[in-house]
Structure 1
Amino acid sequence: MKLVFFRGKVPNFGDELNLHVWPVLLPPGFLDEDESELFVGIGSIIGDHLDPQARKFVMGSGYAGYMGLPDIHDGTWDIRFVRGPHTAEKIGVSPDLSICDSAVLLRAMELPAPAQNVGVAFMPHYESLERGMWAEACRLAGMTLIDATQPVETVLAQIQGAELLITEAMHGAIVADALRTPWIGAKPIYSGHHMKWLDWSGALDIELRMHQLRPTSLLELYIAMTGRGGGQGKAGRLNEMPLARAPNWVLTHSAARHLQKMATLEPQMSSDSRIAQVTERAQNAVEAFVRSRVSVG
């Protein structure tokens, strides 16, 4: 059974969690390279891009509309649980299966020690690191930048050590909430990433408050205004030209001041009882799946 998850040009914390979580929680040798059976794990990975002939086992994944909607009733899908109620509704399964994003299972694992002297931190979406000037904005704001492209252990230690996490990356909020670090949700500059936040937060009964970010570059400003997140063409080329330095400087300083204001907002967190409940349900679902496979074997 092969583990499948999204992997782009650069590592991304939320997706790379798959390699951190599943080899620890599943029995040795449970995962292999047999593509006739797919283990569909952490991330917005449910879609019609997966092999239609393969047997697909879904363990806390989400549907975000990045790919086409699959027919999960075609006999090749085994849905053990999904990220949240939006996913359950879109793919047509019982809302009882909307337990939580399976990154919550970090709570059942041994974790790296919290990083020291993190203070208030900001975690951009990994795409924003390339499109914007967030390292400089964090420096100006006096905050720690948490880079979603860094090793999972590094990011986990920083999230655990943060006094407060402001995050544009959804898995920044998911992990912060699981590990009980107060967090403030920042609405992704690219609007295509908005809906999945509501999916996850709905599973935890969180009345989600998302706060607007200010762009740090002309390219981010263009994306925010147009809702286009793919190839930016002329806007992307303009962002790298000497002509863009002055407006990017202004935008970055404005974004830094806005981050400082965001840090004064009231943070969010699911209740202790709710996070414990969904963690137990997710663990039970994984354990039941493993037992079913062992008995079949």
Structure 2
Amino acid sequence: MKLVFFRGKVPNFGDELNLHVWPELLPSGFLDEDESELFVGIGSIIGNHLDPQARKFVMGSGYAGYMGLPDVHDGTWDVQFVRGPRTAEKIGVSPDLSICDSAVLLRAMELPAPAENVGVAFMPHYESLERGMWAEACRLAGITLIDATEPVEKVLAQLQGAKLLITEAMHGAIVADALRTPWIGAKPIYSGHHMKWLDWSGALDIDLRMHDLRPSSVLEFYIATTGRGGGKGRAGRLNESPLARIPNWILTHSAARHLQKMAKLEPQMSSDAKIAEVTERAEAAVDRFVRSRVSVS
């Protein structure tokens, strides 16, 4: 059974969690390279891009519309649980299968020690690190930048050590919430990433409050204004040209001041009772699945 998850040009914390969580929680040898069976893991990975002939086992994944909607009732899908109620409704499975994003299982694992001197931190979406000027904005704001492309162990230590997390990256909020670090949701500058936040927060009964970010570059301003992603076109070339130097300086300083204001907002977190409940349910679902596979083999 092969683990499948999204891998782009650069590592992304939310997706790379798959290589941190599943090898530790599943029995040795449970995962292999047999593509006739797919273990569909953490992330917005449910879609019609997966091999239609393979048997697909969904373990806390989500549907975000990045890929086409699959028919999970065609006999090749086995949905153990999904990220949230919006995924359950969209793919047409029982609301009872809406437990939580399976990154919550970090609560059942031994984690690296909290990093020191993190204070207030900001975690941009990994795409924003390339499109924006967030390292400079955080420096100006006196806020720690958490880079979603850094190794998982480093990011986990920073999230545990943070006094407060402002996050555009959804898995920043998911993991902060699981580890009981207060967080403030920043509405992704690219609007295509919005729906999945509501999916996850719905599973935890969080009355989600998302706050606007100020773009930190010309390219981000273009994306926020047009709703288009990417950065290889005219806007991307302009962002890197000498003509953008002054606009980028203005936007970066504006973004820094806005981060400082966001740090004074009231943070969010699910209740202790709810996070404990979904963790227990997710652990039970994984345990049932493992036992069913062991008995079959």
8 A contact 2:219–2:231 mirrored in 1: no
Please list, as runs of the form range in 1=range in 2, the aligned pairs for 1:272-287 lying within 5 A after superposition: 272-287=272-287
1:1-297 → structure 2 map (5 Å cutoff): 1-297=1-297
Large movers: runs of 4+ above 3 Å:
none
Q: In the TM superposition, what whole-angstrom CA distance separates every residue of 1:187-236 from its partner, at most 9, and x where no partner exists?
A: 00000000000000000000000000000001000000111013541000
Kept after mapping to 1: 8 A contact 2:204/2:275? yes
- Whole-Å Cα distance in 2 between the matches of residues 254 and 236 of structure 1? 20
How big is the alpha-carbon RMSD for the aligned residues of Structure 1 and Structure 2? 0.5
Could you tell me which amino acid in structure 2 is paired with residue 188 of structure 1?
A: P
Alignment partners' CA distance in 2, 1:60 and 1:213: 28
> Distance between the aligned counterparts of 2:208 and 2:122, measured in 1?
18
Aligned mates of 2:136, 2:174 — CA distance in 1: 25
CA distance in 2, matches of 1:234, 1:183: 35
Q: Counterpart amino acid of 2:6?
A: F
Aligned residue for 2:222, secondary structure, equals helix
TM-score by length of 2: 1.00
* Contact 2:140–2:256 (8 Å) recurs in 1: yes
SS across alignment from 2:24 = helix
Single out whichever of 231-240 and 145-154 deviates more from structure 2: 231-240
Q: 1:41 is matched by which residue type in structure 2?
A: G
| Secondary structure class of the residue paired with 1:243 | helix
The count of aligned residue pairs is 297
Provide structure 1 residue ranges, at least 5 long, that are not aligned to the other structure: none
In structure 2, distance between residues paired with 1:86 and 1:294: 31
Deviations 1:150-199 (A, max 9, x none): 00000000000000000000000000000000000000000000000000
Aligned-partner Cα distance in 1 for 2:26–2:249: 48
Aligned partner of 1:290: which letter?
A: V
Question: Helix, strand or coil: the match of 2:211?
Answer: strand
Give me the whole-angstrom Cα distance separating, in 2, the residues matched to 1:232 and 1:124: 20
Q: Distance in 1 between matches of 2:296 and 2:231?
A: 46
Q: 2: CA distance between counterparts of 1:160 and 1:25? A: 20
Q: Which moved more, 1:68-77 or 1:223-232?
A: 223-232
Q: Please give the alpha-carbon distance, in whole angstroms, between the structure 1 residues aligned to 2:112 and 2:279.
A: 19
Partner of 1:199, secondary structure, is helix
Whole-angstrom distance in 1 between the partners of 2:58 and 2:219: 36
Q: Find the residue that maps to 2:52 and give its secondary structure.
A: coil
Q: Give structure 2 stretches of 5+ with no counterpart.
A: none
Using the alignment, how far apart are the partners of 1:211 and 1:281 within structure 2? 30
Tell me the amino acid that sits aligned with residue 254 of structure 1. S
